[in-house]
Amino acid sequence: MLVAAVTQSGKINPEETSIQRAALKTFFSRQLKDGTWPLSRPLFHYPNYGNAYCYEYEMLTQLLAEPELQEQLRNYLPNLSAAAASVSNSVYRVEQGIPAWTSGHHPNQAEPESWATASAYHFVHHLDRLLADAVRHELFLYLDQPLPLTIKREPKEKDKFAPSPDFIDSTLDLPGKPNHSLQADGIAKGRCFKKGTPTSAILFGPPGTSKTELSKKVADFLGWPLLVIDPSLLLRKGMDGIQAEANIIFLMLQETERVVVLFDEFDELVRERGSSDSQPFSRLLTTAMLPKLASIHKRASLVFIIATNHVGEFDLAIRRRGRFDRVVQVMPPTYQAKMGKHNWGPEKNLDLEKKLQDLKVDITDDVKHQIGDLTFDECESFVTELFKAQNAQAATSALAAIWNQCTLQTNVSQGDEKTTWADRCRAEASLSH
């Protein structure tokens, strides 16, 4: 504990790490079968009460409170579980059944002690925090995803979320952003988001509109890792095992915190149950998912997002008001946002607005509309072609060629009908809330 406490994070050398491991191994090897430790030597002597020993749970609290030891302590969860069982076996019940404890060092003292009770509560709280971290760690391992290191960061304010240097749509406005950032740090201490704080969302819109990137921004804003779950993870054990796999994953999510969970490409699994395209396993999965999502939402200790291109085909029970806190249509960055970005191109040194001015391109409503329709990547392609143009005509021709092939002008099936993404997005805009 002393080595970990006095050494700055990231500066512990292999020798010190080896000392920590050996110390923990020695310490837990001395644990008794009842979950306690031998008294060893007294710390000091009271004339009226006799010898005073170190109280196990006072010491365990300090051990569990040390951040640098968290990873190593996960290896001793069975030992810590035995210590927790010992707490349960030595409890007193005072007024209204409130549990309290005594250190047990003085056989003639049969009353609970305030300091010992405080130590027991403190230990249980820190053990709960270690268990929460262990569940999160196991979830990432189970889904074959690396758990990023948690980096201490300052709480972020509203203007640090959007716009940002690499996510340019400044028209996006999600309420409660400062609230989320400030409350997120409290989750690590065992709290939850306050009632009414949005913790779930459906992001829908055409392909290429950076819905996944936006989810990463949410995770970065909260200082939490992003966990991406796609249908392939549910199909790891074949079609027959999809329900069992979904149950395992959602059960782990119900016990996890401090994660932004992105359900990506789940369109086929959450189709409207009455639709002709809906498969039996899709209906079964939708029915199974709903109560689990409700349970996760009620705990309010993580954020979950569904990213989709086809929200109109979602089961109504998934997208209705009250099921998700926010349903947000994510469109290509606006014309104004693109003009405000001055570092386009692979070298991030191309200014779209200035180049259009240099070529004396007439910025008509059609030009604004076409540039506004381009996704981020499509606009990158246009800027690259624009800087090859020698005159305004070449510039507008390059824009027209890219716009004609852009996502919003692409045909998409909607039932038995075919329409463009632009028309479909206009029809689905009212689904946002």
Percent of the chain with pLDDT over 90: 39
**186 and 317, same structural domain?**
yes
- Please, are residues 219 and 260 in contact by the beta-carbon 8 Å criterion? yes
Is residue 420 in some structural domain? no
**172 and 187, same structural domain?**
yes
**232 and 378, same structural domain?**
no
**312 and 258, same structural domain?**
yes
**Tens digit of pLDDT for each residue in 70-129?**
889 999 999 999 999 998 888 888 888 889 988 877 666 678 888 889 999 999 999 999
Is residue 96 in some structural domain? yes
**Tens digit of pLDDT for each residue in 314-330?**
766 676 666 788 888 99
Domain closes at, from 267, 300, 329: 329
Please give the pLDDT value at position 14: 83
Please give the pLDDT value at position 347: 82
**167 and 135, same structural domain?**
no
Is residue 423 in some structural domain? no
Is residue 30 in some structural domain? yes
Question: Tokens representing 338?
Answer: 């693109």
Is residue 232 in some structural domain? yes
In the predicted structure, residue 49 carries a pLDDT above the cut 90? no
| pTM of model > 0.85 | no
Q: Which of 21-25, 232-236, 398-402 has the lowest mean pLDDT?
A: 232-236
What is the C-alpha separation between 285 and 317, in angstroms, rounded?
13
Please give the pLDDT value at position 278: 47
Q: Per the structure, how many domains does the chain have?
A: 3
- Residue the block writes with tokens 């090897």: 29
SS3 category, 244: helix
- Alpha-carbon distances, residue 223 vs 84, 94, 152, 217, 326 (angstroms): 30, 41, 8, 10, 21
In the predicted structure, residue 163 carries a pLDDT above the cut 80? no
Rg (CA), the chain: 28
In the predicted structure, residue 4 carries a pLDDT above the cut 80? no
In the predicted structure, residue 206 carries a pLDDT above the cut 50? yes
Q: Is residue 203 within a helix (H) or strand (E), and if so which, with residue range?
A: strand 200-204
CATH code for position 314? 3.40.50.300
What is the C-alpha separation between 433 and 430, in angstroms, rounded?
8
Question: Tokens representing 125?
Answer: 């709280």
**359 and 322, same structural domain?**
no
Cβ contacts of 177 within 8 Å, gap of 6 or more: 157, 158, 161, 221
Domain closes at, from 310, 329, 348: 329
Q: Which of 208, 212, 211, 214 is nearest to 374 (CA)?
A: 208
Cβ contacts of 237 within 8 Å, gap of 6 or more: 244, 245
Cβ contacts of 45 within 8 Å, gap of 6 or more: 51, 52
HSE at residue 249, side-chain half, CA atoms within 13 A, is 27
**131 and 22, same structural domain?**
yes
**325 and 305, same structural domain?**
yes
The boundaries of the domain holding residue 391 are: 335-409
**349 and 324, same structural domain?**
no
Q: Which of 170, 229, 164, 175 is nearest to 199 (CA)?
A: 175
**Tens digit of pLDDT for each residue in 55-65?**
889 999 999 99
Backbone CA torsion sign across 138, 139, 140, 143:
positive
